[in-house]
Amino acid sequence: MKFLFVMDPITTVKPHKDTSYFLMLAAHSRGHEVYHCETKDLFFLEKASATVTKYNIKEYKNNDSYKEVFLDPAKTSVSLQEMDVIWIRKDPPFDENYLFMTRMLSLADKPLVINSPTGLQAWNEKLAALEYTAWIPWTLVSSDIDVIYKSINSKGGRFVVKPLDGFGGKGIEFIDSNTKATKEVITVYLKKQDHKPIIVQEYLNDAVKGDKRILLWRGKPIGAVLRVHAEGHELNNIDAGGTAVAATITEHEKNLCETLAPRLNSLGLLFVGIDVIGDKLTEINITSPTTLQEMARLTNTPHHINIIKDLEVSLKNRAH
């Protein structure tokens, strides 16, 4: 089978922890052809197409760089209909280029696209959790300085502030209510975000223990890791210096996954990462969820291989 990964530039891949590379390695090890392209490589000329690069994928060892794991590059142009599976692994922000990508990929009806372009268009991964108010902490989304200021002062306490299009901990700040500096801090933050709506969420004390990333495949949890911040820092994100440690999935979290599954599956969101702090859902990541490598190492389970095997079976059944 032919697997196309639509991603950021191959030069940005960090093989020691990159989930996209890990999935590419799994597909290659199962005997499939693996291709890569960027958003700019998609085009339409009578049909949806792309300029792609085929690679032989080597297993990461001994501090290999991307050049040492992506071997024998061969560039060509193909119709997207030639692919069997297209993985959308482009990092946010979900801007005009991202929307263009989803529109182009939605024109290819033969390949299975993960995650579904229409699903990605339907859900903003920072706002998706708002559909599940019983599971999330106190949350406000607004671009109105007065609404934000009055709301957090009325609620009281400490808050996490996040941009709608951030990822990997980028743009996250912490603010306190009812201080002289509060309004000024919010004003400066909104200005940095070009006065677009932002997310203000109550700070959860359990964050000091770390936040849990649970990966779901077809709506079912396959594993979890706890991301713990580096000493002297608050952000638990691995890209922000956090460390992944082994974690189990509680009954509460299993119930959460069961609650999310019907909506995820109906939208074609097959590979999803949810973030949980304490017993609260904080985010539903659908664009390019990470931590698959860390999870596989910590549990000694080849999750990446299992996903590709599952795709082989489903595509075989789909063909019949």
| 286 is a domain residue | no
Domain assignment present for residue 209? The answer is: no
Say what the pLDDT of residue 231 is: 75
Task: To the nearest 10°, report the CA torsion of 183, 187, 189, 194.
Answer: 160
Instruction: Tell me, yes or no, whether 238 lies in a domain.
Output: no
- What pLDDT is stored for residue 237 in this prediction? 67
* Amino acid identity at 181: A
Domain of residue 180, CATH code: 3.30.1490.20
Closest CA to 155 of 201, 113, 209, 96: 201
Give the pair of three-digit tokens for residue 37: 């392209």
Classify residue 261: in a domain, yes or no: no
Distances (CA, A) of 204 to 29, 111, 201, 282: 42, 41, 9, 10
Instruction: Give residue 240's pLDDT.
Output: 61
- CATH code where residue 98 lies: 3.40.50.20
**Which of 156, 188, 203 is the endpoint of a domain?**
203
Residues 58 and 148 in one domain: no
pLDDT for the residue numbered 238: 66
89 occurs within a structural domain: yes
- Check whether residue 168 and residue 76 sit in a common domain: no
User: What local confidence, expressed as pLDDT, does residue 126 receive?
Assistant: 85
How does pLDDT run along the chain (320 residues), one tens digit per residue? 999 999 999 999 999 999 999 999 999 999 999 999 999 999 999 999 999 999 999 999 989 999 999 999 999 999 999 999 999 999 988 889 999 999 999 999 999 999 999 999 998 888 999 999 999 999 999 999 999 999 999 999 999 999 988 777 788 899 999 998 999 999 999 999 999 999 999 999 999 999 999 999 999 999 999 999 877 666 666 666 778 999 999 999 999 999 999 999 999 999 999 999 999 999 999 999 999 999 999 999 999 999 999 999 999 888 76
First to last CA, the chain: 16
Whole-model pTM: value is 0.94
Q: In angstroms, rounded to a whole number, what is the distance separating the alpha carbons of residues 106 and 76?
A: 21
Same domain, 110 and 149: no
Residue 70 in any domain: the answer is: yes
Contact between 281 and 270 under an 8 Å Cβ cutoff? The reply is: no
Same domain assignment for residues 160 and 83: no
Distance CA(176)–CA(181), nearest Å, equals 9
Q: Is residue 111 domain-shared with residue 61, that is, in the same domain?
A: yes
- For 55-106, the DSSP string reads EEEPPP-TT--GGGTEEEEEEEEEEGGG-SEEEE-PPSP--HHHHHHHHHHT
What is the span of the domain harbouring residue 194? Answer: 138-203
Considering the domain architecture, whether residues 16 and 68 belong to the same structural domain is answered as: yes
Query: Do 146 and 73 share a structural domain?
Result: no
Answer with the one of 203, 223, 252 that is the final residue of a domain. Answer: 203
Q: Say yes or no: 93 and 147 in one domain.
A: no
Number of domains in the chain: 2
What is the Cα–Cα distance from 26 to 306, expressed in whole angstroms?
9
150 and 49 housed in the same domain: no
Question: 3-state SS of the chain: helix, strand, coil percent to 5?
Answer: 35, 30, 35
